[in-house]
Each structure stands twice: as C-alpha cells, then as structure tokens.
Amino acid sequence: GLNPINNIVDMTNYVMAELAQPMHAFDAHLLDGGSIFVRPARPGERFLALNGEEYTLDPANLVIADRAGAIGLAGVIGGEDSKISEKTRSIVLESANFQASSVRKTSASLKLRTDASMRFEKAQDPVNTVRALARAIELLEELSPGIRLVGGVADRKKEIPTRPPIELPLDWLEAKLGRAIEPAEVRGILERLEFGVAEGARGSLMVTVPSWRATKDITMKDDLVEEVGRMVGYATIMPQAPLVPATVPPANHARQFQHGVRELFQDLGFAEVYNYSFVSEECVRVFGLDPATHIRVANPIASDQALLRASLVPCLWRNIAENLKHRDAFRLFEIGVAIHKADGGLPDEEPRLAAAIYDRNGNGEAGLFEAKRAAECLMPDAKTCPAQARSFEHPARAADLIWKGETTGRLFELHPSLLESGRAAILDLSLRAIERLAAVEKQYSPIRRYPSSAFDLSVIAGERELAGKLESLIADFAGPLVESIAFLRKYSGPPLADGQQSVSFRVTASSPERTLSSEEVGEIRERIIQGMRAIGYELRL
C-alpha cells in the first residue's frame, strides 16, 4: 500500500490507484511565478526530491520546473521545495503523460523507482490525463466542500497521435486461428472489447484501437488475432501438426567445441564455476591491470560491477578465495568470454577457459604439472616457453603454452601475496585459437595391442632449470617407441650440492607390433642416459 500523507496527497494517490494515472499536487504559493512548465534538466542541475535525497541531473532527464528551477522529476517524483503541507492554502494539480522511454531512463540512471515511474514506463493512455484531473477535482469538492476552483485547465499538450485503423483480412484471421469463424462473430467480439469496426475491402475489417490499448498493446493485425482467439476460446481450436518441412539447424561448431572442453575438464576432476562478466576497479588493480583498458559499464547495478572483465582470472581468484575457506584442495574451471575494446564497432568477446588447481599443503611445482597435463589433454604435444611474469604471477613460475607454432594460453602460479595460504596453479587458454588449430582432419590410431614398459629417470640439473625443458631433451633422445614422458617429482637437498635439483620422470615405451623385450627397453634407457650426459647432465640411477 501507500503511506498516508495528507488529504491532498492521499487523493492524488487514490486517483492513481483508481485510474492508473499518476498525478502530483504543488503548493501554489511556493511556485516562483505561480506557474509550471516542462523542460530538459540543465547540465549539473541539483534537485531535492520528496524522499529527502538530492540528485544531480543532466539534459537526458525531463523536469517539471518553475522560474527558479526544477520542482519535480517528470513521471518519477515531486520536489521537496513545493510539497503540500499543513500550511498549504492553494494548490496546482498536474496530470500529465510522458514518453515511457524517457521516464524509464531517468528512473534507471538515478536508481529511483516509484509508483509513478512504474506506471509511466508502461506507456499510459494519453486521454486519461483529463479524466484523472476531473476525478481529482470531484474528490476534492467531496472531501472539502469549501474548496473553490479559481483557474481553468492549462493544457500544454502536443497533439495526441491518432493511429490509422488496422486492416484485418478475415481469411488470414481464419488461417492464423486454425478454424473457421463467421465475420459477424469476429465483429461482435471486437465491438464488445470496445474496438471500432468498419467494413474494409476484399473481405476485411478496418479496426480502430481504443486509446487505452493503443500504447504498446494493440499495434498490428497479429494482436487482433490474439484478441479474437482468447474470446472464442483456444480449446475450440483443434490441434493440427504444422505442415512445414523439417530441417536440421546448422551446427554451432563453437558451442559444440566448448561443450566437449567442458566435459573433458569435468572428467579430469575440475568443478565448473559461473561468474558474472563484471569486475570491480579494485579487483582489476589487485591484478596490476589498468581499469582504463577495460570497458566501463554506463549504468552499473553495483559498485563492484563497474567494468567488463578482460580476463577470467580475477573472477577465478575470487572463487579460490571463497572455496579455500572450506577445503584444503580443489580444482575449478570456467568457460566464458573476455571482453576487449575494439577499434570501432562492437567489443571483441573472446571465448576463453580459466582453470585452477589449489592445494593448501602444496609444495614444489606439482600443481603446475597437473595443470600442464590438463592442457595437453586438450592440446596434445603442447610445449611450454618460459615467459616474463606479470605482477599477479609467481616470479619464477610463468610460461606461455605453444601449440602448433602458436601461443594458445598461459600457465602460471598465482603470486603468493594473492593467497592466504597454499598454492594455486592457473591455466588461462584461448578457446578461439585452440578451436581453430584443432579444426584439422583427425586420423584414427588403434589402441595398442601389446603391453607397455616403463622406467624412471632422475636428472641432476640447476635449481632454476625448468622440468619442461628437461622433458623435451629426454624426448629428443628417446626414439619412436616411447609413447609418453611424465614428470614425477622434484627434489633438492642432501646429498645434492647447493643450487642443484633432481627432477624425476617416468618414461613409457611400447610397440604396435610386439611386446618389447627387456633388452630393447634397456637400449632406450641407455640411449637417453648417454644423450643427456653428452650435453652435460648427470642422472641418478
């Protein structure tokens, strides 16, 4: 309901509830010049509303004004400076009709939604303004018998637009309804609904829409079909299958690809998260990014949703922060769009995937290697290339992912300052690039019939050497029978010298034609050992 204020204000609210026409009453003695008019707000104009809030306006806002300034926001709320009080002795009644889009934009831009704005933004019947004014005067005379009308009606209207009649072909109506209907019945239905109906040419009716239904309700002949249909009853229309050819819609390859990626990461133990495409300036600055490079939302619904995200990683970081309150280890991923400014035209919405592997008790680089294995499931034989760490990345644990000669993403560990505890390995991939590179003819390779053999190797290397580089070197010496090389662990400490680390790998070999003998496996192992020693590496056997 509405709060009671006084007899004048309550009367205008009653008329609004009765006729759906908002009204406003001004204290005539508080109006500068004793008259009101409608104009666009001046740039930076200040307005004190009835709710006690002061608003800064711009020319997009329409105001009711006197000679001194704005005394009301058109279609939204009245002003404090001209409100009705116990001292009021004469009033000015306003009953108006404003453009729905103008009221909606003003209400949204100022975050001010009122009973009046909710009605005006639905597009009111312009004829109703005079009717509401007459009803208000009638109620005033009933409530206050001594009241006198001392002025006439000042009408500042533009001409109310008249809509041409809508032609309704009767054969077309029957085809749309799916049943036969007599012209007299159609005419009777429309006339009972207070439409004007006249005979048209070639078996049609010319229908005039009443004013209270001509604003955003009945605008074309299809709307008239609905009016007739609901009155004759949809239950009277016999169901009939549509006689249209069945066609298969074109495949949405991008969506199919993303669906496959989603299933892959779910199978790898990742839980999918969903985030809004909005971020706050504070979150952007935490990641050392410039808010000016992001697209700003013109009218954000909250202060923490002021920018469109250019990366999925900040949102994933917030997901990590929330989940580590409840779990010691988890895997998350999100498929979404990163929105970038474009030179002219619409922004570029790039589909991307961001994934995280978090472990509160994690040490070493195990999380990074797990993330790399996940990337390799999507991009077989993808390589890592050491990269300059950004401010939110661990200084020594950041790399670009290279696949088929192109950079398709980033693999890194979050900077320790961004986490309360533990470690988080992050995978940030461009699905657009991966889909394009993956769009090649696939060749079937049967599952190998013969068992594989595996052995472990530990390479002694400098503490800053990357396991990915060592893995590539081992692959160079391994030969065609080796099917995979997997990282196992890192170790530093006694008996190794300072500045050294031991990096362990598991090498798996097999043949499509036979089971490898122990001698053949030994030859592969020896070839790798000799090759690594030849380029200066020692191995722990």
Same domain for 203 and 327? no
Classify 206 as helix, strand or coil: strand
Q: Transcribe 314-338 into DSSP letters.
A: HHHHHHHHHHTTT-SEEEEEEEEEE
pLDDT at position 541 is 67
- In terms of domains, do 269 and 366 share one? yes
Element holding 95 (H helix, E strand): strand 91-95
CATH of residue 181's domain is 3.30.56.10
pLDDT tens for 135-154 read 999 999 888 888 888 877 77
Q: Judge if 434 and 499 occupy the same domain.
A: no
- For residue 522, the enclosing domain spans 453-540
**Higher pLDDT among residues 289 and 442, named by residue:** 289
Domain boundary among the residues 209, 236, 263 is at: 236
Residues 273 and 400 in one domain: yes
Q: What pLDDT is recorded for position 488?
A: 84
Does residue 241 lie in a domain region? no
Query: Which of 43-52, 70-79, 334-343, 445-454 is the least confident region?
Result: 445-454
277: in domain: yes
Q: Are the beta carbons of 398 and 410 closer than 8 angstroms?
A: yes
Residues 318, 408 within the same domain: yes
| 473-488 pLDDT per residue, tens | 898 898 889 988 888 8
Same domain, 170 and 127: no
Domain boundary among 110, 143, 176: 143
From the list 365, 357, 354, 370, the residue with the least C-alpha distance to 409 is 354
Indicate the burial class of 492 (C-beta count within 10 angstroms; 0-12, 13-18, 19 or more). middle
One-letter amino acid of 16: M
- Identify whether residues 104 and 182 lie together within a single domain: no
pLDDT at 222: 93
- Do 171 and 319 have their domain in common? no
Query: Half-sphere exposure of residue 62, counting CA atoms within 13 Å on the CB side?
Result: 16
Residue 74 lies in a domain: yes
Q: How far apart are the first and last CA of the chain?
A: 84
Distances (CA, A) of 357 to 168, 351, 389, 491: 64, 21, 19, 21
Let me know if residue 320 belongs to a domain: yes
Asked which of 143, 178, 203 is the last residue of a domain, the reply is: 143
Domain count within the chain: 4
Residue 161 lies in a domain: no
Residues 267 and 129 in one domain: no
- What CATH number does the domain containing 485 carry? 3.30.70.380
* Predicted confidence (pLDDT) per residue in 190-243, tens digit: 999 999 999 988 889 999 999 888 888 898 999 999 999 999 998 888 887 877
Three-state DSSP at 279 gives strand
Residue 445 resides in a domain? no
In a domain, 443, yes or no: no
Based on the fold, state whether residues 95 and 40 are members of the same structural domain. Answer: yes
Do 291 and 399 have their domain in common? yes
Domain CATH code at residue 396: 3.30.930.10
What global pTM score does this model have?
0.54
Going by the DSSP 8-state scheme, the letter that residue 234 receives in this structure is: G
Q: Are residues 262 and 407 in the same domain?
A: yes
Contact call for residues 392 and 375 (beta carbons, < 8 A): no
Q: Is residue 280 part of a domain?
A: yes
Lowest model confidence (mean pLDDT) among 40-44, 244-248, 362-366: 362-366
